[in-house]
Chains A and B, each alone.
Chain A
Amino acid sequence: MKERSSIAVTGMGCICAAGADAVECIASLFEGKRNLVPPSRFRSTHPKIYPVLEVPGEFLPEKLRKREDLHLTGKFAVAAAHEAIANAGLSIRQLEKKRVGVCVGTTVGSSMNNEDFYRGFRMGGDPDMAPITRYLRSNPASAIAREFSLTGPCQTVVNACSSGTDAIGIGLSWIRSGICDIVVAGGADELCHVTYNGFISLMVTDDGPCKPFDRRRKGLNLGEGAGMLVLESEDSCRERMERVRSILFGYGCSTDAYHLTAPHPKGEGLRRALREVLRSCDIDTGEIAFVNAHGTGTSDNDRVESHVLNELLPGVPFLSTKGITGHTLGAAGGIEAVFTVACLETGRVPASAGFSVRDPDLPVSPVEQTTTFKGHTALSQSLAFGGSNGALLFKRA
């Protein structure tokens, strides 16, 4: 694959159960804080409670919290974008002068699945149309573009759980191809009864804290939130003389073409995505300091990732951050990209939350304690329903 200029990450924003902004989220990550709670926004008739990692209402800025025009996914997306744009030192006036695109991954944020409305429809009544109007106004990429009056391309990626990673990779392509100077890219998603029931029905949800890569793992914990990066071209950075937090060096993606919900047992698609990103960046595997794995805590996902990482990146430390955030679906790639950049900045990775007992069936296991590294490059990877695999390669600035 043809590769061209490196793209700077000049700003980051994050909101999830671990914190109201990127600084808080990263602090929680290193402290190993796991804020698991029973779901509070819907009632379930499951005999067991499956804990989740919800974003407490007060994490959202008050103004945003009160807005009636956006659903929660839209609010998360806008909150993280505000933080990322401020962190990049970009004013509205500067944004007006640039070609700024928005590319955001989501799952729930693009689904017309409001349960109260649907129940009203089924009963033959005239349910309030507000949830549908809100859904139409809350497409995450459009919500961000509207918030900042951005006029560049706008794309909401709905590639299931790799959506956030893919959105960032597409943002990289848009800048490299000269379509944009700047792209706000990441992922946003909210917890809802639909996904809660869906993942439980697939029997991939843990009724306790999730344990990625651990022998006792039983499944994932659902989470929610948003993670956004401001990606910027070399020219734009030079002109603004703004601090560069990291370099987004490459993106690889591939499909298993195997099963709707299960990964390829040998990780064919993931292997191709990783090979592609390494080859396109001309990076030797020895240069990779760590991998932020997808690490959902499900039996299949963790087994496949462990085998592929052992084969392609033997000895490279890796971790899952989903023990802290939960699986935030379309937001996961965005949030994990923020964490990857933050770890590159500090030269350390935290312990992989939830892991303590090695699985003899897995050839490699994640880091068990905060680990210092010397390298300058790191990978963040995502796997998804539908067999999509995406990997981003970041380099220390």
Chain B
Amino acid sequence: MPVTIRGIGVVGAFGSGVDAFSDALHSTERRTKNVVVQSSGGQEEMPCYRAETAGLDEFIPRASLRRVDHYARMGLLAASLALKDSGGIEINRERLGIIIATGYGASATTSAFLDSFINDGDPLSSPTHFSNSVHNAAAAHISILLRVSGPCLTVSQFETSLTSALLTATTWLEERRVDLVLLGSVDEYCDILGYCWRRFFGEWNKHEVDPFRFDRQSAVPGEGSAFFLLSRPERDEGAYCRIISIETGNLRNQKLALSRKGLLIIGADGHRQCGESYAELLDEAVRALSFTPVYGSFPTNNAFDMAAAALILKKDGALLTACAVPEPVLSGSKQSFPREDIDVVQCLKVGWEKAFGLITLGRI
């Protein structure tokens, strides 16, 4: 059953909200900040796409956020923005589900909990850090602070987390378990992830992600949250687009059918390890582009790809100048994407060990 995207909320290095995101998609400015990364040779400053949640007090009283960490704040802000963006759609919060996809969960708070007992001994382990370190802490804070009492789920499947979560969201809507689903992604950057990144990949790109240089490690870490308010297709008025199909599996034993008519947004984010899979899938007939230079590399960044796809399908606006396209000309230049004939946009994310998720969105 197709589902409809009714509202979008996004939080990333580009800012927060659909307008900021749309501006970023039309801009060549990259908003990275330097983070200090530890290595055996000492410390080094490296670029990273960090998200800010300053706008959250528009939705949640500051006092209620006292014990809410950055991971959950990103989710809270994106979820609140998605509800606001839906334009006052009538919501029975007992019939609203929450599904969150995350690659690594609340990594910074997990580290803080470890610090609490490594520094001060087991008896002084922090209960606040412990309860906020569980992967579903963001979903819990959203349900409590936005008073959502329908089913609540968090899934963690690295790069296929979003696709897997979306699959369950569609079954919930199809079964009429809920009327609406707040489906979102949350992933954060933290010191330990930066350290692991450094150890695994060695080099750290100091420029921007180069998604179509599949043979090069050009990833720049990022973080952020993207939420979508999803409904059954009978509630299409004012909506962005429909999600037509969701495929997930492994490229080792499955062949993918990529659309030759629409656009393909690839989630290639500068990881050489995954690059070859994209290279094998793309040919001249596929019109491919990527926006990862706008939000950086992290397991659930394909939620931003999905938001970009929804904007392309809803708005016949100006050319998306931020998109990266293949070179020399795998599928043409940016000018070869006449929006008026785009009825379908696919979002492809390939992860570690060739796990993939393919989401197909269509115009209403």
Contacts and interface: CB of A to CB of B under 8 A. Distances in A.
Interface stretch (B10-18, B48-56, B119-127, B261-269): B119-127
Interface residues of B, number: 73
A374 interface: no
Interface stretch (A11-19, A39-47, A56-64, A363-371): A39-47
Contact of B152 (A107, A174, A387): A387
Nearest to A133: B200
A158 B249 contact: no
Contact of A153 (B111, B164, B174): B164
A24 interface: no
Interface string B249-278: 110011000000000000000000000000
A194 B132 CA distance: 13
Contacts of B165: 155
A179 B130 CA distance: 36
Given A154-B248, A198-B130, A45 B155 contact: no
Contacts of B140: 260, 385-388
A122 B156 contact: no
Interface stretch (A79-87, A113-121, A308-316): A113-121
Contacts of B141: 260
A122 B117 CA distance: 13
Interface stretch (A27-35, A135-143, A220-228, A234-242): A135-143
Interface string B186-225: 0000001001100110000000000000000000000000
A201 B130 CA distance: 8
Nearest to A43: B122
Interface in A208-259: 253-259
B156 A158 contact: yes
Interface in B109-145: 110-111, 113-115, 117-118, 121-123, 125-127, 130-137, 139-141, 143-144
B153 A202 contact: no
A47 B136 contact: no
Identify the 3 closest CB pairs spanning chains A and B, nearest first: A386-B140, A198-B130, A158-B135
A153 B98 CA distance: 20
A110 B131 contact: no
Given A157-B155, A255-B150, A272 B136 contact: no
Nearest to A151: B249
Contact of B136 (A160, A197, A256): A160
A67 interface: no
A213 to B, nearest CB: 24
Interface residues of A, number: 73
Task: Name A's interface SS.
Answer: mixed
A93 interface: no
Contact of A139 (B149, B157, B253): B157
A189 to B, nearest CB: 12
16 contacts: A44-B122, A107-B135, A110-B105, A112-B110, A115-B114, A118-B192, A124-B38, A158-B102, A170-B153, A177-B171, A198-B113, A201-B126, A254-B151, A258-B144, A260-B131, A260-B137
Contacts of B250: 145, 151
Interface in A181-209: 193-194, 197-203
B144 A153 contact: no
A372 interface: no
Interface string A254-270: 11111111000000110
B141 to A, nearest CB: 7
Contacts of B125: 197-198, 200-201
B92 interface: no
A111 B38 contact: no
Given A2-B175, A258-B144, A112 B192 contact: yes
Nearest to B94: A272
Contact of A386 (B104, B137, B158, B164): B137
B167 interface: yes
Nearest to A273: B151
Contact of B123 (A47, A155, A199): A47
Contact of A257 (B1, B105, B143, B171): B143
Contacts of A122: 115, 118
B324 interface: no
A347 interface: no
Given A139-B157, A198-B113, A255-B143, 7 more contacts: A2-B176, A107-B135, A113-B113, A136-B158, A154-B160, A260-B144, A384-B136
Contacts of B139: 159, 386
Given A149-B253, A255-B143, A388-B136, A158 B122 contact: no
B337 interface: no
A68 interface: no
Given A151-B249, A194-B114, A173 B200 contact: no
B350 to A, nearest CB: 14
Given A129-B199, A255-B148, A260-B137, A158 B155 contact: yes
B60 to A, nearest CB: 14
A201 B127 contact: yes
Nearest to A169: B151
B231 interface: no
B355 A142 contact: yes
Nearest to A259: B144
